[in-house]
Amino acid sequence: MLLHIDSSADPTADSVSRRLTDRFVTAWRAAHGGTARYRHRDLAADPVPPLTAAYTALGRRVEREGFVPPEKVPALLDGPAERREWELTRPLIEELRSAHTVLLGVPMYNFSVPAALKAWIDRVTFPGAFTDPDTGESLLRETRVVAVMARGGGYGPGTPRAACDFQTPYLKAYFARLGVAPRHLHLIAAELTRVDVLPHLAGLEEEAARSLDTARQRVDALAPALASTPAAEQPSD
């Protein structure tokens, strides 16, 4: 299954990340001949609620029990507030566990990821949810993750704002901690996407066009490759 998650607050017409994820999905479906399972979650249209005290209380109780698979968590619930938190959380966990490929649309907001995506990350990262109770290994070690990033300015290596990119290292650290193998994490960035509206970016139109074209090319190549190649054999970035 392809799990497609968009987090931009902008509609598709104004969102580079949404247009690029749509492009990936189109190529993915074409490679599968329309037979692949697909799930789209729009975190702007359908936000994930932030965590509450009931979530954290349940999480600590589960941690004290060791590795508890999601199907056994209901036995540890204490009251309606915790039950509601688990009802909000479990479907997100099941979506991620069942996905062979996860596609994320991630615009850069204030040097990092959008709050809408962070809320999904906070909720889905429930203790033990992605750990094999028999081996202790991550259940996501063969999951492919594609993060399509859009940045209004320039944050690549050697640019004046390179040190302000907290988006790329955050995504790398998070998915590594979740157990996704480095070779299965693909980061695609389109930079200078606000060159048409920010006066201080004037004169960088050609660089912006090249960055977007490169991102499109990578999406066009990666989508069919991941759709047709087993995770163990896929190319790494």
Render pLDDT for 112-134 as a digit per residue (tens, 0 to 9): 999 999 999 999 999 999 999 88
Write out the two tokens for 227.
């759709």
Residue 144's Cα: distance from chain center in Å?
10
- How far is Cα 196 from Cα 207, in angstroms, rounded to an integer? 12
Give CA–CA dist 158/106, Å, rounded: 22
Tokens 């048409």 locate to 196
Pairing between β-strand 38-42 and β-strand 101-107 as defined by DSSP bridges: unpaired
> How deeply is 80 buried, as exposed, middle or buried, from its count of CB atoms within 10 A (0-12, 13-18, 19+)?
exposed
Residue 167 confidence class, pLDDT cut points 50, 70, 90: very high
Distance CA 43, CA 24 (A): 18
Letter string b/e over residues 131-155, b meaning 16 or more CB atoms within 10 A of that residue's CB: beeeeeebbbeebbbbbbbbbbbbb
Q: Choose the weakest-confidence range: 31-35, 90-94, 148-152, 200-204.
A: 200-204
**pLDDT more than 70, % of the chain:** 95
Confidence of residue 166 (pLDDT cuts 50, 70, 90): very high
The predicted model scores a pTM of 0.92
Confidence band (pLDDT; 50, 70, 90) for 36? confident
pLDDT-above-90 percentage for the chain = 78
